[in-house]
Amino acid sequence: MKRCMVHCSVLLAVVLLASCSTVSVTSDYDRAADFSKLQSYRWPLDSEEIRKGDLLAEHPLVYKRVQSAVDRELRGKGYRKSTSQSADFIVHTHAGIKKLKTYHQRYGIEFPLHNGWYSPWWGPYGGFSYVSYYEEGTLVVDIIDASTRELVWRGVATRVVRDYQSPEDMQKDIDEAVAEVLSRFPPGT
């Protein structure tokens, strides 16, 4: 029985940790837009960028990593990157981080072999509560029609931000988030 409890608790911890690192993705688009006509794209010119207060504006190396991931995903979908004004659409990315907190409450009866803050035996106690803090990062990828300058598609990825030990770790998470977001572009694929 002890062995089963230990295995179950380890399995539960792994599942909970894995669920914390998943990317939540949403997207929306203009129903009147004809995405079949889009073949080439470009990034905003310096004069077009409105990035005041944007996390990517404050961290140009991260912005380059995001651009690289977006370029790779769009190239894989058959879109051609253009440096001229004649591109069919403009890709604009921005990001932010929000500090959040979660309240936790523990009640009543403990399970056998509990090695927590109170006691290692079965029995009621007053319980306790605690607060945990975390940061949630959001990456937004906008597709703007180059001729009308109107937003035609938006994809948003959200996940809990972690401390990165290396630029490669960060690139891996950026690649994953961008791939998840652009898996929904163009709509209907």
pLDDT tens across 84-126, in order? 888 999 999 999 988 988 887 776 555 544 555 555 555 555 5
Yes or no: say if 32 and 144 are a contact pair by the CB < 8 Å rule. no
3-state secondary structure of 78: coil
pTM score of the predicted model: 0.74
Q: Is the peptide bond before 167 cis (omega within 30 degrees of 0)?
A: no
Contacts of 15 by beta carbon, 8 Å cutoff, 6+ apart = none
Q: Give mean pLDDT, residues 135-141.
A: 94
Q: Give the residue, 85 or 149, on which the prediction is more confident.
A: 149
Distance CA 107, CA 129 (A): 9
Helix H segments across 46-125?
55-58, 60-76
User: Does pLDDT of 148 surpass 90?
Assistant: yes
CATH fold of 23-100+135-182: Double Stranded RNA Binding Domain (3.30.160)
Tokens coding 54: 């944007």
Q: Give mean pLDDT, residues 3-16.
A: 31
Domain limits, the chain: 23-100+135-182
pLDDT digits (tens, 9 = 90+) for 26-80: 999 999 999 999 999 999 887 566 566 788 888 889 999 999 999 999 999 999 9
